[in-house]
Structure 1
Amino acid sequence: MSVKKSVLEAKKNNELYIYIQPGSRFVAKAIQYSFDILKQRGEIFSEEETNRITELIENKNLKDNQESIREETWDKNSVEDKSAIELFSQLSIWGFCIAFGVIIGSILLAFNLKKLNKPKISIIVFSFGIIYTIFQFYAINYLEEINFVIKRQTFLFSGIGALILHYLFWENYIGKEISYRKKSIIKPLLICIVIFIPILYVMIENK
């Protein structure tokens, strides 16, 4: 997100103080500019307050960098060009894998491959999703039987499956350099919600 110092310089001191408050939602650069402007205007900060703001800026910088890396890694090839092919993004597929299971992520990726005229690979990806989901179910049950329970093991297995979909199938059969428009996830999200709400209800009732 681009931040112009001149915009912040036009603000009053009480407005700038909002930027440097604990729990500030603003990006690191905006906080840093606000802090610098306030000091230039003669505002005095204690050593404790200075350390707090410095730590806030450092934490925000770390978070901003992590978000930037995540976007570059997963959605770096998405574009706004309306002539580009419309595909479910890499980040969307990863998110559906974690939230609803690898089988759902594989369906989205299979859709992409079918749209790219790769029906055979599309079937292979969908089959992988089914096989991996079965493997995940038995693997987790086995680990529980031998009392070797990994914290958040469902998410761990889903994450591994998502990585396989990305590195084995997306990169090899869609490619690292393809440019595409992000396809809306609203429809598959609604379908997943409709499917999973009854399942969750039954699971809760049976506890």
Structure 2
Amino acid sequence: MDNNLPKIYSKKAIFGFSVLMSTLFGGVLLYQNLIDIKKKREAYIVLGLSILITIVTIVIVNIPEEPKSSLAYVFGAAGGGLLSYYFVPTYFPDEEHYPKKAIWKPLIIAAIITMSFVGLMVYAGSLENT
């Protein structure tokens, strides 16, 4: 392990957050990795692609009369696979040599975002029942 290499989020973390949260979330982790190694242009391309995949996911999941949330996991796995198994090896061919960032900060952010959405959904549901 080279001490001069910056800490990065692992491809497992990127994949996991893509599946459990969204490709956008995994894309933000990879974006941060690319910013840390001074690849700003590539970082913005990855972020743009992540946003696009997330928008397509939202549209397709909500097309059926009864939205299928399981499709979100399929798209998350596909997007996470693209980020983790194409982009990470492309920009970090020696990824295993980089020290890894802890996932606590993104995990806490993900929990706050999730709790906020759940709280808003509960609040909106209570407004409908009045």
TM-score range, shorter chain: 0.7 to 0.9
How much does 1:151 deviate? 7.5
Q: Residue 38 of structure 2 aligns to a residue in which SS?
A: coil
Separation (CA, whole Å) in 2 of partners of 1:171 and 1:107: 17
Equivalences for residues 1-207 of structure 1 within 5 A = 81=1, 83=3, 84-142=5-63, 144-145=64-65, 152-175=70-93, 177-178=94-95, 179-205=97-123, 206=125
Kept in 1: contact 2:12–2:84 (CA 8 A):
no
Cα displacement (A) at 1:167: 2.8
TM-superposition CA deviations, 1:147-202 (whole Å, max 9, x none): 6x767222111101101112331122222x33111101111211221222110122
Partners of 1:116 and 1:139 lie apart in 2 by: 34
Consecutive unaligned residues in structure 2, runs of 5 or more:
none
Per-residue CA shift, 1:51-99, capped at 9, x if unaligned? xxxxxxxxxxxxxxxxxxxxxxxxxxxxxx4714310011111111122
- In 1, are the aligned partners of 2:23 and 2:53 still within 8 Å (CA)? yes
Count of matched residue pairs: 123
| Amino acid paired to 1:190 | I
Q: Which amino acid aligns with 1:132?
A: I
Q: 1:151 to 1:104 in 2, by over 3 A?
A: closer
TM-score by length of 1: 0.54
| 2:10–2:101 contact (8 Å) kept in structure 1 | yes
Q: Is the partner of 2:62 in helix, strand or coil?
A: helix
Kindly indicate whether structure 1 or structure 2 has the higher relative contact order, using CA contacts under 8 Å at least 6 residues apart: 2
After superposition, the C-alpha distances for 1:115-164 in whole angstroms (9 at most, x for unaligned) are 1121100001111111111100011112x13x6x7672221111011011
Q: 1:204 to 1:93 in 2, by over 3 A?
A: same
TM-score, length basis structure 2: 0.83
Residue identity opposite 2:114 in structure 1 = F
Structure 1 Cα separation of the partners of residues 13 and 20 of structure 2: 10
